[in-house]
Amino acid sequence: MAGPALARRTVADAAPTASAGRGWRWRDDLVGWAFAAPFVILFLVFLAFPIVASFGLSFTSFGLRDLQNPIGATFVGLQNYADLLSDPTFWKALLNTAYFVVVGVPVTLVIGLLIANALNRGVNRFRTAFRVGYYLPVITSIVAIAVVWRFVLNPDVGLVNMLLGAAGIQGPAWLADPALAMPSIIAMAVWRNLGFAMIVFLAGLQSIPGVLYEAASIDGAGRWQAFRFVTLPMLRPTILFMTVITTIGYLQLFEEPFVMTDGGPLDATLSVTMYMYREGFTFFHQGYASAIAYVLFVIVAFVAFLQFKFLRSDA
């Protein structure tokens, strides 16, 4: 409480000596806000307001009947949240998403790190070409990629099964088999997001001073020891950043199953975000969908908190 009072006093004290200055400062503020206005207005209208409104919606049974008179939606308290807890489809979606994250995040990061390492040390000649090649999927439209992968994984005419067939193996129905659908989606997501992990790790690797490796090799460290005792500790902030970013992204899995499997077969690839979309925009249970959104938000925040706690300390 002392802070604001102090600040006010300072302004008040300064006022009599430089009254013209106060006018200037006010105008500076105005100019500053004017420059920031496009962002602030867009943020308030398209982000802050919907976030607050959907929080309110999550306590109502807002549906089709309230479309013409949104204020008239019925307040149901915590009913939506209680319903969610006993909704088997929601739990299924939650488990699917957890499966995707628990397998997908480590695989993406490990392969990304390995490739970054290879590009950093071994491959010199075509480094740029490789970098572009691995990064290209990241900047390609996800829907286009998903459609192409749907063809690649087609059981009858797909590239994967044609190659398997050439090797004498009868390929499975990748996306139509409940046990294989999620692994197939993970494989695609890893391939797509690899490039981003690689670029970030490469930047991290290149910022590690060469003298550290020199010192390590003088101390008799081999390649693995240098990686274990120099690279990994020096990359810790980068790894933390990539883990958090990738986890948050993967927790919101949507486009891949939306385009490739529509959540099937037998809901095996139904993610929390897809379930939210289905409830909110197909069935128009906007109250229920808002509750799902907030549960997901809490989960994302909690997981990010845990990652910061465990990866940041004991550095």
For residue 5, the minimal CB distance to other proteins (Å) is 47
Binding mask 133-152 for other proteins (x = CB under 8 A): -----------------x--
Closer Cβ to other proteins, 15 or 64, answer by number: 64
Look up residue 175 and give its amino acid: L
Written in H, E and C, the secondary structure of 71-110 is HHCCECCCHHHHHHHCCHHHHHHHHHHHHHHHHHHHHHHH
Closer Cβ to other proteins, 242 or 253, answer by number: 253
Residue 179 makes CB contacts below 8 A (sequence gap 6+) with 268
For residue 154, the minimal CB distance to other proteins (Å) is 6
Residues 272-311 that bind other proteins (CB under 8 A): 278, 281-284
**Piece in contact with other proteins (CB under 8 A), picked from 22-30, 133-141, 170-178, 195-203:** 170-178
Write out the DSSP string of 52-77.
HHHHHHTTB---GGGTT-GGGPPB-T
Nearest to 101 by CA among 238, 304, 289: 304
- Regarding 49 and contact with other proteins (CB under 8 A), the answer is no
DSSP secondary structure letter of residue 138: H
Binding mask 249-268 for other proteins (x = CB under 8 A): -----------xxx-xxxx-
d(CA 120, CA 152): 31
Q: Which of 18, 64, 143, 162 binds other proteins (CB under 8 A)?
A: 64
Residues 74-103 that bind other proteins (CB under 8 A): none
d(CA 136, CA 133): 5
d(CA 110, CA 121): 17
Q: Which of 8, 9, 27, 65 binds other proteins (CB under 8 A)?
A: 65
For residue 198, the minimal CB distance to other proteins (Å) is 30
**Piece in contact with other proteins (CB under 8 A), picked from 39-47, 68-76, 128-136, 296-304:** 68-76
Query: Do 294 and 58 form a contact (C-beta atoms < 8 A)?
Result: yes
Residues forming contacts to other proteins in the complex (CB under 8 A) are 64-65, 67-70, 72, 150, 153-155, 173-178, 260-262, 264-267, 278, 281-284
